[in-house]
Structure formats: C-alpha cells, structure tokens
Amino acid sequence: LHLFSFLDKNSRKSLAKTCHKLLEVFQDPLLWSLLNFHSPAELKKDNFLLGPALKFLSICWYSERVKVCNIEDWMKNNFQKDFCNRHENIVSDFLLEVCNRCPNLLSLTLSGCGHVTDDCILLLLKSCPNLRTLKLENCVRITDQTLEAVTLYGGSLQLLHVDFCRNITQTGLERVREKCPLVMLRADKSANMIPDNKPGKKFMLEKALRKLVQL
C-alpha cells in the first residue's frame, strides 16, 4: 500500500495487472481515500476505485476548452453545442455515483466544471453529511440555490468557496453568512459578475422598471 501510494492511477492499474497479489493491493479501499482528476475524460477510465473510503475528491479542468462550456447556452453555435454534448453529463453522473458510494466524503473541489448544476450539489450535500470543505471555482451553472442548500444541509461544512461562479448573488452570500456564521466563506469574482440573462429578458425587465418609475 505504501509503495502504491506514490503512483498515479494509470501506474497503479498497470502494476495491478502483473500478479494476483498486487491486484489485491490495487483493490484495497485504503488506497483510494484521495482522488484527483484533471479532465472529465479521466472520470471514464477504469484505473481507480470508488467507495466509502473516499475522503477527498478533486475534479479540476483548466483546459482552454472550459471557455466553451462557460458560454451561455443561448449564445453557443452548433459546433460549440456539439462539443459540450459530448461531455455535458460526465461530471454530474460521476458525482451521482459519489453520492451513492461515498457517504464519508470530507472534501470536494470542482474547478472548470461548467455543466454541474445546483441539483447535483444539493444531492451531494444530502448524501455526504460529513462534508467539511466545498470549493467551487468557475462553475457557471451554480446559483443561489446551492447556497440555500448549504444553509439547509451543510451542517458539517467549515469552508465554502464559490469563486468565479457568476450566477451567485450578493443576497445569497449574505444569507449564508447569516445562517452559517461559522463557515469560512469566500467568493472571489462571483457576486460582482454579470449573471447569465438573455438580452431580451434584461430588456423587458428594464422596460417594466421604467414603467413602474413613471407610475
């Protein structure tokens, strides 16, 4: 186990193929308390085990391709939509597996996961009651609904980051500070960013406000 701990996932899988004894080590839950992934494609590989021993999970995608996922759906052209359709549900489906298999998760970090939704984080908070650290960076579909879920189901949460999550509002952040004063909250470049509103919706809202002012 000690020797395996120095290897990456691919090396562990390769070594496990050499004999039955090393395969047993590969399958030992103690080896899989920490998982780091650097792209959605890695989640589909058969070079790791997912189980109740998992305590720390990180999925961080820093590729230039993340910019495509961060474009509002109504602004994407056909090429961009096709690109997103290829991996849109990969991270969300993986997190659903985490909800079912990893109730002892303590820390989750998601960066550049532009297709992860509030519903997914809500289910994870319910399924992993011991979660202490939740870091969300550049997850553009995360809104105040996630912050509300934190106030309801994040009883063990100690650290919450929602950096570069442009659909988070100042109102939602203030609610977390009010309801969860012991949680260390950070929201760099979130509440001050422009949310994803269609120009048509924004125009109609401004028009209605002008009418109200006139009245």
What is the percent of the chain with per-residue pLDDT over 70, rounded to a whole number? 88
Question: Does 43 have pLDDT greater than 60?
Answer: yes
Cβ–Cβ < 8 Å for 26, 4: yes
Q: Quickly state the pLDDT bin for 97 (edges 50, 70, 90).
A: very high
For 181-204, write each residue's pLDDT tens digit: 999 999 998 876 655 555 555 545
**H/E element, 86:** none
Q: Can you give the pLDDT at residue 48?
A: 96
Place of tokens 């934190």: 150
Neighbouring-strand partners of residue 58: 36, 109
Average pLDDT, the chain: 88
| Residues 124-148, mean pLDDT to the nearest whole number | 96
* Confidence check: pLDDT of 86 > 90: no
- Out of 16-30, 40-54, 80-94, 160-174, pick the least confident: 80-94
Q: Is the pLDDT of residue 24 over 70?
A: yes
Q: Which two tokens stand for residue 172?
A: 């939602």
Domains of the chain, by residue range, sit at: 32-213
- Do residues 185 and 160 touch, judged by C-beta distance below 8 A? yes
Q: Is residue 114 very low, low, confident or very high in pLDDT (cuts 50, 70, 90)? A: confident
Which region among 58-67, 76-85, 97-106, 127-136 has the lowest average model confidence (pLDDT)? 76-85
| Closest C-alpha among 105, 13, 5 to residue 59 | 105
Q: Would you identify the CATH topology of the domain 32-213?
A: 3.80.10
Token representation of residue 183: 């949680």
pLDDT at 132: 98
Average pLDDT over residues 134-147: 94
**Cα separation of 129 and 215, whole Å?**
50
